[in-house]
Structure 1
Amino acid sequence: MDITYENTQREVRTDQGVIRYHEAGDGPPLLLLHGSGIGVSGWRNYRGNLAVFAEHFHCYVIEFPGFGISDPVPGAHPVLAAVDSVIRFMDALGIDNAPLVGNSMGGVVAVNVAVKHPDRISKIISIGGVGTGIFSANPSEGTRLLQEFADSPSREALIRWLNCMVYDPKTVTQDIIDERWDLANNPESQQALKAMYGSESFALQQQFMANSPTPPYWAMLHKVKCPTLLAWGKDDRQCPPDMAMMPLRLIPDSELHIFPKCGHWVMIEAKQAFERVSLEFLRR
């Protein structure tokens, strides 16, 4: 299957701006949700997996608002804007119900959508991200490096963070560095990163959560009713694998697969194994 950026790129207009996405394949719908981070996009998260999934599903790789590709939602926190955009996207394309694959922040978005709209989500595959640390340091090494970049962007800080994302440093090629740096310089992408990881914003978020009467999202994981696969890299330094214990215990119909010699980017570093496990789960 010929999967290229140009022949899969689409856009749809919603009541809160244009959402851009990539589309490929036939069959039942499957939505793929990207993570946060420096110079991130849905295409960069899933371009290597799209051809395999598209053999079985009608795939939609959503570009979340405010990351430099889809229209931003003014004043909205990137995660909250992303949660809302999934339902807006499904409504705009007439998708009643679908499974979600979410990398890191995309997994957090997926479980939030499933809690708020349980009838719209049939299954979830969360690649890291969901839950909170039990034994590991908080913030994690990866989050501290994101804060460093958000506070003072530089190519060197980008490279330090990229190397933290993977088990094998050879995964971080010059092409990946260049394309990440290019999008990281987009003002919308910088604003989203600063809103999530900048030292000032991060401190305010921590203070808000400590004093908020609303429980954190991970305290609501028991409300996720659909089958959920937690896919984790054993050597994840962004979201260490002890984080998986909370969603594994709280989500009623959940299972965990840990991939050895693999960092945060499971769909990239453990590509074939991840695709095999995911397809078995989705087609079960």
Structure 2
Amino acid sequence: MSATVPTPAATVPITAESTSRFVDAGEVRVHYHEAGSGPVLLCIHGGAPGAYGWGNFGANVPGLAEHFRVLVVDLPGYGRSDKPQISGGRYAFYAKVFADMLAALEINSAHILGMATGGAAAMMLAIEHPQVVDNLVLVSSAGGLPLFTPMPSEGQKVIQSYYGGEGPSRAKMRSYLEMMMYDASSITEELVEERYRASIEPEFMTGAPDGRGAQNRPATEQVWRDVDRIRARTLVVWGRDNRVQGYDNALFLLNRIPDVQVHLYGRTGLWVPFERVEEFNALLVGFLCPS
């Protein structure tokens, strides 16, 4: 095992810098953030240009760290994690890395939270490595099956076009964020700049599955075919106004995952944890820590 030694959380403010850690998960060096104590909650972010763990879940970490030992990962290919070539299915690769990561940290099992691409990875983890999954939370998850949303969706077209034409720009990033969220007033210049800068990092553009290089787009499995094999107690969370993954995906998962409940928010897009920070944290705590 090779991992950085965490600093006691009680003496250090919870920031991206103070919580930053690395661990060798098999052959992949994974960057993650750690805060809090208690039951382990592993948070897996979504894909798309400029995505990384703290960017997706940073606003939630202080509140969740009051109840859990929170681990927020950068997917392989994103953020500060290694950017390996992925052979075989993308989601199975991620699932194996996270199973190896938990083993390296000597964690037998954890609650798993996955959003968008991270949701498909979380489902694959529950399917192929069920022994490491206590409870499962899926937010705007990929890997399901849309019942009536046209494919590719409006949001998927925006994502796919980000590096096309004249290439990435701050205007394109703002358009993407406005598409992803219901209330555009929460999109600050700082947020646009942060995501834009992450999207043009040379290693991201050449090494991430959602970067510019088409050769880096590994196959994505049809996870929906096997979701009936998920035995973990599961919470599915969606925004009604999600223009990337329509809420009909949530209804499909409701019908296929054996032990499941669904929570839908109106006036909410894909990024539920950011758009409804306090409500989402309370929902998560209530589901994972029932009194």
- Farther-moved stretch of structure 1 (52-61 vs 74-83): 74-83
In the other structure, the counterpart of 1:154 is: 168
Aligned partners of 2:86 and 2:93 also within 8 Å: no
Aligned partners of 2:207 and 2:216 also within 8 Å: no
In the other structure, the counterpart of 2:81 is: 70
Query: 1:140-181 deviations in whole A, cap 9, x for unaligned?
Result: 111100110133432122222111100001121101110111
TM-score, L = length of structure 1: 0.90
Q: Does 1:278 align with 2:284?
A: yes
Q: Does 1:105 align with 2:105?
A: no
Q: State how far apart, in whole Å, the 2-side matches of 1:75 and 1:203 are.
A: 8
Q: Which amino acid aligns with 2:185?
A: K
Aligned partners of 1:148 and 1:157 also within 8 Å: no
Q: Which amino acid aligns with 2:122?
A: A
Shift of 1:234: 1.1
In the other structure, the counterpart of 1:246 is: 252
In the other structure, the counterpart of 2:266 is: 260
Shift of 1:65: 1.1
| Secondary structure of 1:84 counterpart | helix
Shift of 1:37: 1.1
| Secondary structure of 2:22 counterpart | strand
In the other structure, the counterpart of 2:101 is: 89
Q: State how far apart, in whole Å, the 1-side matches of 2:253 and 2:25 are.
A: 32
Q: Which amino acid aligns with 2:34?
A: E
- Farther-moved stretch of structure 1 (121-130 vs 183-192): 183-192
**Closer, same or farther in 2 for the Cα pair 1:75/1:200, shift >3 Å?**
closer
Q: Which amino acid aligns with 2:194?
A: E
| Secondary structure of 2:17 counterpart | helix
In the other structure, the counterpart of 1:139 is: 152
Q: State how far apart, in whole Å, the 1-side matches of 2:216 and 2:98 are.
A: 24
* % same residue: 29
Aligned residue runs from structure 1 range 52-67, under 5 A: 52-67=63-78
In the other structure, the counterpart of 1:212 is: none
Shift of 1:137: 1.1
Q: State how far apart, in whole Å, the 1-side matches of 2:145 and 2:236 are.
A: 14
| Secondary structure of 2:97 counterpart | helix
Aligned partners of 2:239 and 2:247 also within 8 Å: yes
Q: State how far apart, in whole Å, the 1-side matches of 2:38 and 2:282 are.
A: 18
Query: 1:172-226 deviations in whole A, cap 9, x for unaligned?
Result: 1101110111110123322455x45879679995xxx8xxxxx721110000001
**Closer, same or farther in 2 for the Cα pair 1:234/1:98, shift >3 Å?**
same
Q: Does 1:225 align with 2:212?
A: no
Give structure 2 stretches of 5+ with no counterpart.
Answer: 1-9
In the other structure, the counterpart of 1:177 is: 192
| Secondary structure of 1:5 counterpart | coil
In the other structure, the counterpart of 1:36 is: 47
Q: State how far apart, in whole Å, the 2-side matches of 1:43 and 1:203 are.
A: 23
**Closer, same or farther in 2 for the Cα pair 1:80/1:197, shift >3 Å?**
farther
Q: Give 2:205's match in structure 1, choosing from 184, 187, 190.
A: 190
Aligned partners of 1:234 and 1:260 also within 8 Å: yes
**Closer, same or farther in 2 for the Cα pair 1:157/1:79, shift >3 Å?**
farther
- Farther-moved stretch of structure 1 (113-122 vs 149-158): 149-158
- Farther-moved stretch of structure 1 (34-43 vs 8-17): 8-17
Q: State how far apart, in whole Å, the 2-side matches of 1:230 and 1:101 are.
A: 10
- Farther-moved stretch of structure 1 (180-189 vs 69-78): 69-78
Aligned partners of 1:16 and 1:73 also within 8 Å: no
Aligned partners of 2:26 and 2:97 also within 8 Å: no
Shift of 1:85: 1.6
**Closer, same or farther in 2 for the Cα pair 1:100/1:203, shift >3 Å?**
closer
Shift of 1:78: 4.9
In the other structure, the counterpart of 2:4 is: none
TM-score, L = length of structure 2: 0.88
| Secondary structure of 1:150 counterpart | coil
